[in-house]
A = this chain, B = another copy of it.
Amino acid sequence: MSLTARIGMLNDVLCAQSVLSWDSRTMMPSGGADSRARQMATLIGLAREILVAPETATALAADDIAGLNPDHPHRRAHETTRAAHDFHRRIPGDLLARRAAARGVANGAWIKARETSDFALFAPHLHTSFALAREFADAAGWQAHPYDALLALYEPGETVASLTALFARLKSGIAPILAAARQRSIRTDFLTRPYPEAGQQRIARHFAELLGYDFNRGRLDVTVHPFEVSFTRNDVRITTRYRPDALAPALFGAMHETGHGLYEQNVDPAHTGTALATDLIGLYAVGGASFGAHESQSRLWENHVGRSLPFWQKHFPTVQAEFPDALSDVTATQFHAAVNAANPGLIRTEADELTYDLHIILRTELEAALIAGDMRTDDIPAAWAKAMHDQLGVAVPNDRLGCLQDIHWSSGMVGSFCSYTIGNVMAAQLMQAAKRIPEIADGLQTAHYTPLADWLRQNIWTHGRRFTRDELLLRATGSPLTPEPYLAYLREKFA
């Protein structure tokens, strides 16, 4: 079997795994949970077996890339596959099994600890979770810092050193903007009023279509924690949730996932089923270059488009007509201001655009210290409270609203948080470059997004995983990741 056929088979298995995952989060009856977990573990195990099997080494050896340019798609696919094959062969199977077992136990303990806001219940499991993550990092290999090995799973190229510099600039840049934003008082009362679900569904679907999401190759469903997932570019599904008393979560959630969906739906069809549409390190069928690159597209469409004044000048009447009771006393300008209000709070997932990154930086810094052994698990609550006070100016009343709020640590997902902030930074950098093109800038002023979408398709989406995140940024903006456009954007919006 050729290398391409072999990776195609692997991609099929990972797409199947994603169908099972989507189903478990949108459709599955509660009774199916245990069987489903087992089925998903089996598929991931088979995918890994296909990748590490001697047959893959044979296929790699038989796959001649000598004559291909360094950035030829097939050469990139070959090199990615080679690296992933070597990577997974370095990770002992028993470590994966121990992590999977620990994850199950830790998740149960986390749910209990969060309910009772009792960190002590979770602490030993958190300790194990980080000890196993460290063991994983050591098996994967690292040079300057063990956390670098975990960052590489989600955001290849980032290191503790690079993130330290990025975060320092963001902290110093955001602080004065936040101080200025605190002085403003913005009316937001109408955001929490009764909004019938049927109307929210219609608007969410309407906006997804408006931004270019193709429903012939997708669906919009309801879930608890919204996500996007693709089973090749031809079947890319998004989800949102509907709160009966609030409009913004469903609306901006749908636009966020639409951004993810646009990325996947627009990957070059030639990449379908190849290593350029498969994360062979994470064993996940995905076309985006990195988690951060993916997040850049969701944040771009959610924030730069969906929270812009021209968008609401054009589309507020549609929303107002759908919810006449809730929005009769509101103007487009007021609505736009309300959905852009800064309001430092305790919960990451409810954070506004300006303070969101401070939540991320806090978590990432803790993770790096824990992995390095520079901090003990028991010290987390105090460190959390101090950072929340120093950076956001809020007091943490209990661990439930503090260090027990996220599922990531109980799931063993150490190293992923930074992707959210990288997405924000990358989105602003791309928008700054895109706006230099008059047609795109004009479109943004009049809420016509085809020029922007065409530019993103050509510069980002179509490439799938052919280029790294920084290669994409260099090609599209002339620079690797840089926080200045993002800080300028935040300054203009909030200061």
Contact = CB atoms under 8 A, between A and B. Distances in A.
B15 A39 contact: yes
A486 to B, nearest CB: 35
Interface in A149-168: none
A438 interface: no
Contacts of A231: 32, 35-36, 39
As for how many copies of this chain the complex holds, the number is 2
A29 B272 contact: no
B35 A235 contact: yes
A32 B29 CA distance: 24
A interface, over-half SS? helix
Interface in A12-29: 12-13, 15-17, 19-20, 23, 27-29
B43 A12 contact: yes
A12 B232 contact: no
Interface in A43-91: 43, 45-46
Nearest to A22: B23
A281 B231 CA distance: 28
B12 A39 contact: yes
B16 A39 contact: yes
B235 A43 contact: no
Given A31-B216, A32-B232, A42 B13 contact: yes
A15 B42 CA distance: 11
A25 to B, nearest CB: 13
User: Among the interface residues A13, A45, A272, which one has the most CB atoms of the partner chain B within 10 A?
Assistant: A13
Contacts of A219: 27, 29
Interface in A210-255: 214-219, 231-232, 234-235
A29 B232 contact: no
Contacts of A272: 35
Contact of A234 (B16, B34, B232, B235): B34
A32 B236 CA distance: 9
Interface residues of A, number: 37
A185 interface: no
A23 B39 CA distance: 16
B235 A9 contact: no
Contacts of A34: 234
A436 interface: no
Nearest to A23: B19
Contacts of A215: 29
A253 to B, nearest CB: 20
Contacts of A184: none
B19 A235 contact: no
Interface string A188-224: 0000000000000000000000000011111100000
A15 to B, nearest CB: 5
A30 interface: yes
A194 to B, nearest CB: 23
B43 A13 contact: yes
Contacts of A45: 9
Contacts of A30: 216
A15 B23 CA distance: 13
26 contacts: A9-B42, A9-B45, A12-B39, A12-B42, A13-B42, A15-B39, A16-B17, A19-B20, A27-B27, A28-B235, A29-B216, A29-B217, A29-B218, A29-B219, A31-B214, A31-B217, A31-B218, A31-B234, A31-B235, A32-B235, A35-B231, A35-B232, A36-B235, A38-B273, A39-B231, A46-B46
Interface of A: 8-9, 12-13, 15-17, 19-20, 23, 27-32, 34-36, 38-39, 42-43, 45-46, 214-219, 231-232, 234-235, 272-273
The list of the 5 closest CB pairs from A to B, nearest first, reads: A32-B235, A31-B217, A12-B42, A35-B232, A12-B39
